[in-house]
Amino acid sequence: MHDALRRLGRGFLTEMRRVVSYATLTVLTVGAALRPARHARAVVWTQAARQIVFTGVEAIPLVAFLGAVGSAVFVTIALTFFSGAEENKMVVDILARLLVREVAPLSTAVVVALRSGAAVTVELGSMSARGEVEGIETAGIDPIRWLLLPRFIGMAVATVALTLVFVASVFGGAFVAAVQAGALPPQLGAALPYLFALQPSDVVLALAKAGLFGIVSAAVACYHGLSVRGDVTEVPRRVARALVEILIHCSALAAVFALLAL
Amino acid sequence: MTPSIEIRDLWVQGVGAELQGVSLSLREGERVAVVGPHQPSLSLLIRACAGFERVQRGQVVVCGVEVGTADRRSLLQLRRHLGYVSISGGLLANMTMRDNLELALRYHGIAQSDASRAVASVIAAAGLETSADVRACLLPAELCKCFAYLRALLLEPAVLLAEDPSAFLHPEGRNIVSELHAQAHARGVTVLVADDDVEFVEPLVDRIIELSALEAAS
């Protein structure tokens, strides 16, 4: 019992130390963003734009597919249980609250973690192992500004944008499913009143969460990538840890947000 | 900024190597090679001067900056005035050699057109045009080393630090590196190299010192 408690305490402290490291990395990156460095701006924005394209634009089909299919399945199943106009409204309310506010940012964060979190960890891990990070430092290039800042910007912006895509596809999928189930006439106008079930605060909260998840994903992925020391075989281990930790931290934050919003 | 190096009673522990009480002083424009049979210890000395190793005891002052106690930003500013060539070169593998060189200039605020012109000129002077548009990961280590030298000297550093300059170099690469060292000397660059190949570094420097002698001096 005593040993188990000690192990639990040690594990908790290790986890806390890591969270502090992620927070420190984020603060350093935000600091680099706020510090004026006009000369490096063009190079950094080029990198950030590339990251946004990779993390955001290239993931649009996947996120749209997941959003549409998820909501279509949800609506189809819900409509088999509820059929009256009142119940339809309830289905839409749940759809808005659950899928838009809770599922959209978290699902998007999972997609971003699986695609870009893994890629960022592999890229930075390989660069660290090959001595490239030191290499750019020797040229007076700040790795936080040139390597981390674009990835933080790219992943945060892309996660927010992909959440919007997810929300749009949720409504698209739900509309098609509702029409198929005969709960709505096949005119787009008929679906508009249902859209108003979505409060602006729901969308704002979803986007804020998405931005935070993007930053968490970037911090964890960058931390594990830069923690590789000279051994390329360490990279896959770091990727696995980064992915698990991104999912755990984002889920925990989602739970905290949900509890706070009660 | 004083372009000189002052190492006093330096103790550093690295992976498979250590420095015990090394002391060394380089005047402005002086060229020194530290030699010895154990390359990891020699590399450790150069890495400590560039701020990549934690100084356990003693002092390393490069261009007036005490490397051991300098913060991240001071080190970055110092490195702007340092040319550093690691054993493998440390070039970005997924970029072409030309892009690797241009990045250093563009990051420091030089316009794209000026950076391209400057890079094309140094590449042509070194006779490396045929490899300039190939990604670093596809080139042999010898060429990467030569391009790493070009990058290190491109920003016109006050001090050049080179870890094992002879590594990976065949006669052609050695000629290029020797020529680059001669150009750096003509510009008055302070040079500290650490190599186990005494024959190669002899013509590059003014003074050759055994690492063991530096340790004994402390």
Please check whether residue B176 is in contact with residue B16, taking contact to mean a CB–CB distance below 8 angstroms: no
Amino acid present at A202: D
Other Cβ atoms closer than 10 A to B121 = 10
Contact A138 B93 (CB under 8 A): no
d(CA A148, CA A55): 14
Across chain B, what does the average pLDDT equal?
Answer: 90
Whether residue B96 is predicted with pLDDT greater than 70 in this model: the reply is yes
Query: Which chain B residue shows the shortest CA-CA distance from A126?
Result: B93
Written as one string, the DSSP assignment of B31-85 is EEEEE-S-HHHHHHHHHHHHT-S---EEEEEETTEETTT--HHHHHHHHTTEEEE
Instruction: State the pLDDT at residue B218.
Output: 46
- In chain A, what residues touch B79 (CB-CB under 8 Å)? 137-140
* B69-85 per-position pLDDT tens digit: 999 889 988 988 899 99
Residue found under tokens 């390359």: B39
Residue (of B141, B158, B147) closest to B29 by Cα position: B158
What number is the average pLDDT over the span A237-261? Answer: 92
pLDDT at A118 > cutoff 90: yes
What pTM was computed for the model? 0.86
Kindly state the tokens that stand for A40: 């490096």
Pairing of strands B57-62, B65-66: antiparallel
Provide the 10 A C-beta neighbour count for residue B199.
Answer: 8
CA closest to B49 among chain A residues = A138
| Per-residue pLDDT tens digits for A10-49 | 988 988 898 999 999 999 999 988 887 767 778 888 889 9
| d(C-alpha B80, C-alpha A22), whole Å | 28
What is the pLDDT at residue A196?
A: 67
Mutate to test the interface with B, among A132, A133, A144, A149 (most CBs of B within 10 A): A132
In chain A, the percentage of residues whose pLDDT exceeds 70 is 94
Q: What pairing do the DSSP bridges indicate for beta strands B82-85 and B159-163? A: parallel
Q: Tell me how close the Cα of B199 comes to any Cα of chain A, in angstroms.
A: 27
Contact list in A for residue B148 (CB cut-off 8 A) is 135
**Taking 80 as the threshold, does the pLDDT of residue A187 lie above it?**
no
B92 vs A135: CB contact, 8 Å cut-off? yes
B89 touches chain A (CB under 8 A): yes
Q: Which one is predicted more confidently, A158 or A94?
A: A158
User: Complex ipTM, two decimals?
Assistant: 0.86
**What is the arithmetic mean of pLDDT over B150-164?**
93
CA distance A167 to A205: 12
Which segment of A72-81, B101-110, B124-133 scores lowest on mean pLDDT? A72-81
Q: What is the predicted pLDDT for the residue at A140?
A: 87
Contacts of B88 in chain A (CB under 8 A): 130-131
Of A230, A257, A253, the C-alpha closest to A19 is A253
pLDDT above 70 (res B1): no
At A217 the three-state DSSP class reads helix
What is the nearest CA distance from B216 to chain A, expressed in angstroms?
Answer: 30
Give the number of beta-carbon pairs within 8 Å between A and B. 70
* Residue spans of beta strands (DSSP E) within chain A: none
Q: Is B141 on the interface with A (CB under 8 A)?
A: no
Residue whose structure tokens are 């290039």: A141
> Which residues touch B78 (CB under 8 Å, ≥6 apart)?
B51, B62, B63, B65, B67, B70
Mean pLDDT of the residues in chain A: 88
Q: Is the pLDDT of residue A195 over 80?
A: no
| pLDDT tens profile A128-184 | 999 899 999 988 899 999 999 999 999 999 999 999 999 899 888 888 888 887 777
Q: Does B55 touch chain A (CB under 8 A)?
A: no
Q: How many domains does chain A have?
A: 1
Residue A30: count of CB within 10 angstroms of its CB: 14
Write A163-167 long-range contacts (CB < 8 A, 24+).
Answer: A163/A104, A163/A105, A163/A108, A163/A206, A163/A207, A163/A210, A164/A207, A165/A60, A165/A63, A165/A64, A165/A67, A166/A63, A166/A64, A166/A66, A166/A67, A166/A104, A166/A107, A166/A108, A167/A67, A167/A100, A167/A104, A167/A203, A167/A206
Q: Mention the CATH class of domain B5-217.
A: alpha beta
Map residue B162 onto helix, strand or coil: strand
